[in-house]
Structure 1
Amino acid sequence: MKDICGGGGPSLIQECSGNDAAVNAVFQIAGHNCRVSFTGHTAGHEIPVEIGQINWRTLRIKGSGGTDHFTPRAIRFMSQVRDRIDFKKLTTDYFDFKDIDKAFDKAMNDKKNVIKVMLTFGEQNE
């Protein structure tokens, strides 16, 4: 990442996965004065990170999700790009809620083929 950014690291990072390794990597690759936004969910467990990098790199960090402005902005964005992006291709698997164990198994153990696993309730509405 630093090579791509000319040796200094990115000036903006949007971490959406909530993956422990990805969250940790943010603190390793961020450039000086980088704006960092975390929207991936990591609640419920601790992730070891080198917190001193916030000061060392002068990072500006914010979290986002569940705020009153998040959903309207997401809806506006989706309406602007819906004719250019086929979002249905992002959901690779559907499981009825009664098969939640199979859905989690698929999501956790078939990462090469899975983008998103969706749970449905009753009839599937795509």
Structure 2
Amino acid sequence: MTTSIISAKQQMRSAQAFAFFSSIAVVIPVLIFIWIAASIFVYAAVANHPNQRVRDYLIPAGYRFYGLVGTIVVIYNFSSQLAKWAGGYWSLAIIIWIAGILIVVPLAIRDIMRAEREPWQEMQLETE
């Protein structure tokens, strides 16, 4: 059996990754479609991390981002009716964008800062 080491910095970066890239994708709407595809791989990789604390940062960030994406799909499905209420399609898009920023970004910043203050410790894993 071999022993591999996961440094404290690697664990912290893994805990911060999903929230960081989700907030960037929400702020720059063009990137959201790329991040939807890439986030699946990041989520799967971090969801199987050996440190439970790393996974504890991933789950709420995933709920926020995927909840926002699901809500966007529903809103766009009814966009013709909602655009009349919002004052046009551009107004609706801006409302959705601002709501997305308000939902994802502040909580992502909080999680990133909290993960940075967390007392991470080096882990040793025995692999075959």
Q: Same fold (TM over 0.5)?
A: no
Q: TM-score, normalised by structure 2?
A: 0.25
Q: TM-score, normalised by structure 1?
A: 0.25
Greater strand fraction, Structure 1 or Structure 2 = 1
Higher relative contact order (CA 8 A, sep 6+): 2
Greater helix fraction, Structure 1 or Structure 2 = 2
